[in-house]
Structure 1
Amino acid sequence: MELSLVFSLLFLSCLHGVSSESRYFTSMFTLGDSYIDTGNFVVIAAPVVPVWHDKPPYGMTFFGHPTGRLSDGRVTIDFIAEHFGLPPLQASLLNHSDVSKGVNFAVGGATAIDVDFYERNKLIPFKPLNNSLNVQLGWLEELKPSICNSTEGCRDCFSKALFFVGEFGVNDYNFIWSAGKTEQEVMSYVPEVVDNIIKAVERLINEGAVYVVVPGNPPNGCSPTILTLRSSLNQTGNYDHLGCLSDINRVARHHNSMLREAISALRGKYPHARIIFADFYRPIISILQNPESFGVASQDVLRTCCGGGGVYNWNSSAVCGMPGATACKDPSAFVSWDGVHYTEATYQYIAKGWLSGPFADPPILRAIRY
């Protein structure tokens, strides 16, 4: 059975079983990075750096054209918004007049730690975009007058909204890895990354949010891009049984463990809130461990659908959207879309797991029934 059919059946079974929740939330507000960006990066980056994901074949599966999403179609928040009867979230920087049903502040490349930290400590050799978690929170603050007319109005609105804070952390760790730091040095930054995420969640709760989803890190050591970039630096012993980079995935698991512990503590502080840890790691690993069950050929499980050749079909001189890169005929038969981000079919599988389990603690649908 093809991956697309498997995922569609799973997701439809979820939809058909929970029609009573289809209008539970009045709006959605999302902060994050490129995994859920719906166009902000194109707006903020296009004037200063080359942007490739605003070109075909991005969007080929669902929209039929690029939308600013780094996928062949929809991403996780699209499926979750659809489940609750909400429209696809528009990117905040597109300045749509109607934000009554929510807006997406996520930007590709966003970090949990403010970007000036990386500049100040010479961890990056370039000028980063000013798109960190705190910046996105500032954008939300600026938009509040359009969302509500008073403090109490906002608290009421936020209490009926579903918030996403993340995924955050992948770009922070990528910056530090790229600076040549050791695994232990990268690990030392995890507490600060997690602390910034938790502070953002707490800030939203104090402003009235009740339902907040906090995704962890995916197994970035399985990324075709990372595997290609580090292929000359690693020995066989640095790869796990799936062919992924062990050190990078250990950092991701450590991040997720610390994040879960911090969320648990936050629940004790705000017992009225429903803070959901969304596991971004296990759903990807579950496909990689048993690809044939998801319609993915074993030889393609670590290859990208859209790329420019090489062992993992990722080539820095011909990344997806650039001349020389081509897309596979059936993205649903791949886990990775462009080497970093995932196919619509993969995102759909993750969204189902966050909605009804088993990839969330608690699953979103269980949280709203408390």
Structure 2
Amino acid sequence: MKLLRVVLVLLLPAVSSCLPCRRRDDYDYDSIFSFGDSFADTGNGAVVFAEHSLFSPATKPPYGMTFFGQPTGRNSNGRLIIDFIAEKLGLPFVPPYLAHNGSFRQGANFAVAGATSLDASFFSDIPGVGKFVLNTSSSVQLGWFDSLKPLLCSPAQECKGFFHKSLFFMGEFGVNDYSFSVFGKTPLEVRSMVPDVVKTISSATERIIKRDGAKAVVVPGIPPLGCMPPNLAMFPSTDPAGYEPGTGCLRQFNEIAVYHNTLLQDAIKNVQKNHPDVRVIYADFFTPVIRIVQSPGTFGFTSDILRCCCGGGGKYNFNMSAGCGMPGATVCEDPSTHLFWDGHMTEAAYHFIADGWLNSINES
């Protein structure tokens, strides 16, 4: 159980770019459909964990303290990137598919904390980890979407027209694939997974374009894994050269993230080439986080930038036996000055990242 909590905190997920780019007025969308992990989960994880009798820290205070005033299943002190984007586009917060009893006509969120891009069976042979990878992968989430479609549009041939005015988010996916794998694989072995992870993401993007008529798909990259407090706390380097001099982040972890994002951008270019009438948008998750880490004061953050606001102590305020929402954890006085909440980002950081993504969404 402790391992699950540790790994889920790794759910790891902005200057962005869109392919091709030409400036225009804000686009008008009728709905948002989102797939991904804890960076986008607005409540599905709480349902999934409860079904498996597992503890979900995001259902306990102080989660949600800044904006909602109570826990909502979001892994932050307030709003996520997708929340800020929905607000800016004049749409309601995207309701979690597994926890919402109302209408999904204006969108649905299928993201689940702990979700991977690759199917759960891929991780079954990793000692001590495989049994904690739940059946919530990208393909499972796409299956939930297929189940929902008859409630949104009928007959089936009309669905493509319905989704022409929808904004899709394919991820962030990938962080959990690497975060689970690092417990049983060497960095080189984890790196060897990247092409398969990227192919899964690009294939899922192709699927919603071809099958569902998506005309605008945002495909986020992954943040710098080497800057995440859980990785810094659990995988310290005995060699000073293992840390980047300008950030204090773990070099090997960040190299995996850069490799993933490079291959993902190349894959997105191919998807865009195959579908020139579709807006396929790469959302940069790496650059804004690195910018904050390198110069926190410039963006209004504390100088102790790699330390969690909510946690159980230690150099990075991350303790797997006293994580945020658990006995023994403490909360910083002002989360808005922190980049990291519990290993995920704070609402303030998500707001900054969302602004960059919005710039790309409004380009074509």
TM over 0.5: yes
Q: Report the alpha carbon displacement of residue 122 of structure 1 after superposing the two structures with TM.
A: 5.4
Q: Matches of residues 18-29 of structure 1 in structure 2 within 5 Å?
A: 21=26, 24-29=28-33
Which AA in structure 2 matches 1:170? V
- Counterpart residue identity of residue 341, structure 2: W
Q: Report if aligned partners of 1:119, 1:127 keep a CA contact under 8 Å in 2.
A: no
Other-structure match for 2:102: 97
Given candidates 292, 296, 315, the residue that maps to 1:291 is 296
CA positional deviation for 1:52? 1.3
Residue equivalent to 2:361: 364
Please, which of 312, 316, 324 is the counterpart of residue 316 of structure 2?
312
Deviations 1:15-54 (A, max 9, x none): xxx9x737x1000000000001001010010242112110
Deviation at 1:121, TM superposition (A): 6.1
Q: CA 1:83–1:326 in structure 2 vs 1: closer, same or farther (change >3 Å)?
A: same
Distance of 2:26 and 2:193 partners within structure 1: 39
> Match for residue 35 of structure 1?
39
Q: Does 1:137 align with 2:142?
A: yes
Matched, 1:196 2:200: yes
1:207-356 alignment, distance < 5 Å: 207-231=212-236, 233-241=237-245, 242-298=247-303, 300-339=304-343, 341-356=344-359
Once the two structures are superposed, residues 205-255 of structure 1 have per-residue CA deviations (whole angstroms, 9 ceiling, x without a partner) of: 012001000000100110111111112x54211111111010011000000
Compared with structure 1, are the counterparts of its residues 321 and 131 closer, same or farther at alpha carbon in structure 2 (3 Å cutoff)?
same
- SS of 1:21's partner is coil
2:133 is the counterpart of 1:128: yes
Cα distance in structure 2, aligned partners of 1:117 and 1:334: 35
Task: Give the aligned length.
Answer: 339
> What whole-Å deviation, never above 9, does each CA across 1:36-85 have from its counterpart, x for those lacking one?
10010100102421121101110011000000100000000001111111
The range that moved more, 321-330 or 131-140, is 321-330
Q: Is the 8 A contact 1:123 1:176 kept in 2?
A: no
TM-score, normalised with respect to structure 2: 0.90
| Aligned-pair CA distance for 1:151 | 2.3
Flag the structure with more relative contact order, 1 or 2, with Cα contacts below 8 A and sequence separation at least 6: 2
Paired position in structure 1 for 2:3: none
**1:120 Cα shift?**
4.7
Identity of aligned residues (%): 49
- 5 Å matches for 1:47-196? 47=51, 48-120=53-125, 124-179=129-184, 181-196=185-200
Aligned-residue Cα RMSD (Å) equals 1.6
Q: What per-residue deviation string (whole Å, max 9, x for no partner) do you get for residues 117-171 of structure 1? A: 1115658352421100000000000000111112232101111000000100000
Task: Spell out, residue by residue over 1:313-358, the C-alpha distance to the aligned partner (whole angstroms, 9 max, x if none).
Answer: 111111000011121111110000002x1000100000000111xx
Q: Does the 8 Å CA contact 2:62/2:77 hold for their aligned counterparts?
A: yes
Does structure 2 conserve the Cα–Cα contact (< 8 Å) formed by 1:165 and 1:215? Answer: yes
Q: 1:61 is paired with a residue of what secondary structure? A: coil
Structure 1 counterpart of 2:351, one-letter code? Q
Aligned to 2:6: none
Gaps of 5+ in 1: 1-17, 357-362
Runs of 4+ deviating beyond 6 Å? none
Give unpaired runs (5+ residues) of structure 2: 1-22
